[in-house]
Amino acid sequence: MILSDWRRFSARPAAALLLTAAVPMAALAETRPTLNFYGVTGLIDMPSAEGQPDGDFSLNVSRFGRTTRTTLTFQISPRLQGSFRYTGVRGLTLGGFGPNDTYYDRSFDIRYRLLNEGLWWPAVTIGLQDFIGTGLFSGEYVVATKHVSPRVKVTAGLGWGRLGSFGSFANLGTRPAPGTATGGTPNIKQWFRGPIAPFGGIEWQVSDKLGLKFEYSSDAYSEEAGKQGLFNRRSALNIGAEYQLTEGVRLGAYYLYGSTLGFSANIALNPKRRAITGISGPAPAPVVLRPSRQSNPAAWSDSWASAGGTAAATSLGGKVANQLQAEGVVLESLAVTGSHVEVRISNRLYDANAQAIGRTARALTATMPASVETFDIVPVERGMDLARVRVRRSDIESLEHQPHNAAALRQRVEFSDAATVAPGHVPSPNKQRALRWGVSPYLRYGLFDPSGPVRADVGLRLSGELRVARGLYLSGSVTQRLAGNLSKYNKASNSVLPHVRTDDYLRSRRSNELERLTLAWYARPGANLYSRVTAGYLERGYGGISGELLWKPVDSRLALGAELNYVKQRSFTSATGFANYAIATGHVSAYYALPSGYHVQLDVGRYLAGDLGATLSLDREFANGWRVGAFATLTNVSAARFGEGSFDKGIRLTIPVNWLIGAPVRAAASTTIRPIQRDGGARVDVTGRLYETVRSWHMHRTDDQWGRVWR
């Protein structure tokens, strides 16, 4: 259990072979391939060789007979696809489940397209089904798919495991049984071993909405239909019809194995296509051009700055602050000379920091005397100066209405460290809000417990933050449950490790709860260095003190960090008290931003249960803030001691609110899905860790969003 455009074709099928040569395969690829009952790209129960559009994230629910499958699938790259599946089979008597129970199974799939479809050759994909799990649904395959017309395609493949259990024609060695009773580990010795059987089928997209499928299945359903008789498998042939209700919703109905009706529903989202077209908000103020030196040389005089010191900054501060406020940017402080201005700003509105940089530069053209040529924009988060972005005023003036002006401006902008700022800074004359608070709904859920696969609480969360001084913040949150059933979870943990994330962590302990209450201090101890110290009630389960140091150059894809925590378990019965369990934990971390939005992170250290090991994470981040990733933790705790699942692993998802509502807001909704929550590999959930805060303003992340600098 866990807490936590389609191209239209008018060709007739009779002209299929002629059109194969006439229609480019790039055009064929624009039609979104369909998903099968396992939630992966495929026919009905069998896979096909195509992939989904790059970045697609889909939720598929299918049901036939007594089997229900719920699958999350992500097209990790144009060729690589990964899936997580939760299957329930009513009446399957395995693992202590009786005939009146529903057997639940969690599994992961991975598949890679070896060859893209060409004019004369098919797409070819190799895949592993249920390669991390109990092995009940495990199988491997090599499959090819080819269009014979723009609307008709054929698929043929070879399967092993489940996909080689009916109609096999050869045998590739002996396929061993799964090697662990706890599941959760790769079944490497099974891969591509045992009987080999063919499968295949045809798909016909009758119209833009309606599609038909015909399939020959190589899955004998040996356990469900053979040994336990949960349904009658009379035939290897399956047929089905699917209807594209909307661009992202597809429904299907099927007749399977000569005896059973089936249904499916698929919802697909793509980070590259916003739910709301565009982002609303006021247009930016125009760039204010300076008069030419020849026509008005007096305007270019810097005599206004002759007073020196902070007088000039003080006199201009109000104008700059008001202009920035109208643009949704907060002025923190300002320093100015006759030719140069440096402003420290906070972005409270825009999800793309590049947009805040552009708005700030425009505001400075409207407020700075003509002699000021260089604009240094220093973004501030948590009181830390994160970068210095140097923009030349003449570039802003000359490029505003030029084609490809964003790329041209980026070539002239300079990024550097901001550990030290220019002397003579004066604070903004506009009073800043020291206290921020809000009330929002919350959802806390638990998944995959056999006695209740979906449990959830909903309620309200009151959260607030007080800026005590620069870099010093007092923050906290309390919740009030309004409805739900998490409190009814009463399954005792069988973990042999300290119960650091099981037992009462899986239920709501009380209707109202003090989630967090912390005092955090952020600082810049040196060039390329950032620090954080947080103390208090760090999360629902632990209180204590947490310290962190991060090395991250502005222009580097690499970052290194270290974190040390001393925490004590919070009481399950008292809102503010503590239990007896205490531990020191810590990690050293390496972060690297790969090209195309991929991020890899490695954490090595000691976890909450005292176990030692490492966590490897891989995430894909899109320019609009969408983020999908996976992680796995291996420690010195054996699979047997860890328990069901063998090791900690999961999927995490972040969806920016602006993608959903089309408004320029910075909030995002995040969640982590684990196949099962155990005690091994657990970390303290400290808010405000440095890497994500710091890198958002650094060069490579800002470059991802630079296309919005003129908006």
Residue 563's DSSP bridge partners are 548, 587
pLDDT digits (tens, 9 = 90+) for 319-377: 999 999 988 899 999 999 999 999 999 998 888 899 999 999 999 999 999 999 999 99
What contacts 24+ positions apart, CB below 8 Å, involve 562-566? 562/586, 562/587, 562/588, 562/589, 563/587, 563/589, 563/605, 563/686, 563/689, 565/538, 565/684, 565/686
Residue 14's pLDDT band, with cuts at 50, 70 and 90, is: very low
Burial of 327 (0-12, 13-18, 19+ CB in 10 A): buried
Residue 278's pLDDT band, with cuts at 50, 70 and 90, is: low
pLDDT (0 to 100) of residue 347 = 94
Window from 479-493, 499-513, 565-579 with minimum mean pLDDT: 499-513
pLDDT (0 to 100) of residue 305 = 84
**Nearest alpha carbon to residue 590 among 578, 576, 579, 604:** 604
pLDDT (0 to 100) of residue 12 = 34
pLDDT (0 to 100) of residue 20 = 34
DSSP sequence for 322-391: HHHHHTTEEEEEEEE-SSEEEEEEEESS-SSHHHHHHHHHHHHHHHS-TT--EEEEEEEETTEE--EEEE
Task: State the Cα–Cα distance between residues 97 and 104, nearest whole angstrom.
Answer: 9
Q: H/E element holding 321?
A: helix 311-326
pLDDT (mean) for 163-170: 95
CB 539 within 8 A of CB 567: no
**Nearest alpha carbon to residue 224 among 99, 51, 402:** 99
pLDDT (mean) for 197-212: 96
Better-predicted residue by pLDDT, 15 or 393: 393
CB 321 within 8 A of CB 430: yes
Please check whether the domain covering 297-432 is classified as CATH 3.30.300: yes
DSSP secondary structure code for residue 69 in this structure: E
Angle subtended by helix axes 311-326 and 353-367, to nearest 10: 130
Size of the chain in residues: 711
Q: Hey, what are 426's tokens?
A: 């004066």
pLDDT (0 to 100) of residue 505 = 66
Residue 603's DSSP bridge partners are 589, 615
pLDDT (0 to 100) of residue 28 = 39
Residues of the chain with pLDDT > 90, as a percent, come to: 67
DSSP sequence for 468-521: EETTEEEEEEEEEEEEESGGG--PPP--SS--SSSGGGGS--SSEEEEEEEEEE
Better-predicted residue by pLDDT, 646 or 584: 584
Beta strands at 374-381 and 340-347: parallel, antiparallel or unpaired: parallel
Burial of 377 (0-12, 13-18, 19+ CB in 10 A): buried
Average pLDDT, the chain: 89
CB neighbours of 574 closer than 8 A, spacing ≥ 6?
none
CB 193 within 8 A of CB 160: yes
pLDDT (0 to 100) of residue 506 = 63
Task: State the Cα–Cα distance between residues 138 and 222, nearest whole angstrom.
Answer: 13
Q: Which of 29-49 are b and which e, b meaning 16 or more Cβ less than 10 Å from the residue's Cβ?
A: bebbbbbbbbbbbbbbbbbbb
Q: Hey, what are 421's tokens?
A: 């700022």
- Measured at the alpha carbon of residue 499, what is the angle toward residues 496 and 503, in degrees to the nearest 5? 110
Q: H/E element holding 83?
A: strand 80-90
Task: State the Cα–Cα distance between residues 642 and 496, nearest whole angstrom.
Answer: 8
CB neighbours of 176 closer than 8 A, spacing ≥ 6?
189, 190, 193
Burial of 336 (0-12, 13-18, 19+ CB in 10 A): buried
Is residue 21 classed as helix, strand or coil in its secondary structure? helix
Q: Hey, what are 662's tokens?
A: 């089309």
Burial of 295 (0-12, 13-18, 19+ CB in 10 A): exposed
**Residue 130: left (phi > 0), alpha (psi -120 to 50), or beta?**
left
pTM to 2 decimal places:
0.89
Task: State the Cα–Cα distance between residues 380 and 609, nearest whole angstrom.
Answer: 36
Q: Hey, what are 274's tokens?
A: 């916003």
CB neighbours of 631 closer than 8 A, spacing ≥ 6?
615, 616, 617, 618, 649, 650, 652
DSSP sequence for 164-205: GSSS--EEES--PPPS-SS--SB-GGGTT-EEEEEEEEEEEE
Q: Give percent helix, percent strand, percent coil of the chain, each to the nearest 5.
A: 15, 45, 40
CB neighbours of 382 closer than 8 A, spacing ≥ 6?
471, 473, 520, 522, 532, 688, 693
- CA–CA distances in Å: residue 647 to residues 94, 633, 636, 643: 22, 6, 10, 8
- In the chain, where the domains are located: 32-269, 297-432, 435-700
CB 405 within 8 A of CB 310: no
pLDDT (0 to 100) of residue 508 = 62
Task: State the Cα–Cα distance between residues 61 and 657, nearest whole angstrom.
Answer: 25
- CA–CA distances in Å: residue 384 to residues 80, 381, 546, 591, 657: 39, 5, 18, 20, 25
pLDDT at 9 over 50: no
Torsion of CA 632, 638, 643, 645, to 10 degrees: 30
CB neighbours of 185 closer than 8 A, spacing ≥ 6?
132, 179, 639, 646, 647
CB neighbours of 684 closer than 8 A, spacing ≥ 6?
538, 539, 542, 544, 546, 565, 567, 585, 608
Beta strands at 260-269 and 102-115: parallel, antiparallel or unpaired: unpaired
Residue 218's pLDDT band, with cuts at 50, 70 and 90, is: very high
pLDDT (mean) for 118-131: 95
- Sequence letter at residue 705: Q
Is residue 648 classed as helix, strand or coil in its secondary structure? strand
Task: State the Cα–Cα distance between residues 523 and 592, nearest whole angstrom.
Answer: 23
pLDDT at 8 over 60: no
Task: State the Cα–Cα distance between residues 88 and 69, nearest whole angstrom.
Answer: 6
pLDDT at 612 over 50: yes
**Nearest alpha carbon to residue 681 among 637, 651, 640:** 637
Task: State the Cα–Cα distance between residues 469 and 709, nearest whole angstrom.
Answer: 31
pLDDT (0 to 100) of residue 389 = 97
- CA–CA distances in Å: residue 408 to residues 359, 385, 400, 402, 404: 17, 26, 10, 9, 6
Which CATH number is correct for 32-269, 2.40.160.40, 2.40.50.140, 3.30.1370.30, 2.30.130.30? 2.40.160.40
pLDDT (0 to 100) of residue 362 = 96
Residue 507's pLDDT band, with cuts at 50, 70 and 90, is: low
pLDDT digits (tens, 9 = 90+) for 172-187: 988 887 655 556 677 7
- CA–CA distances in Å: residue 130 to residues 184, 186, 613: 10, 9, 25
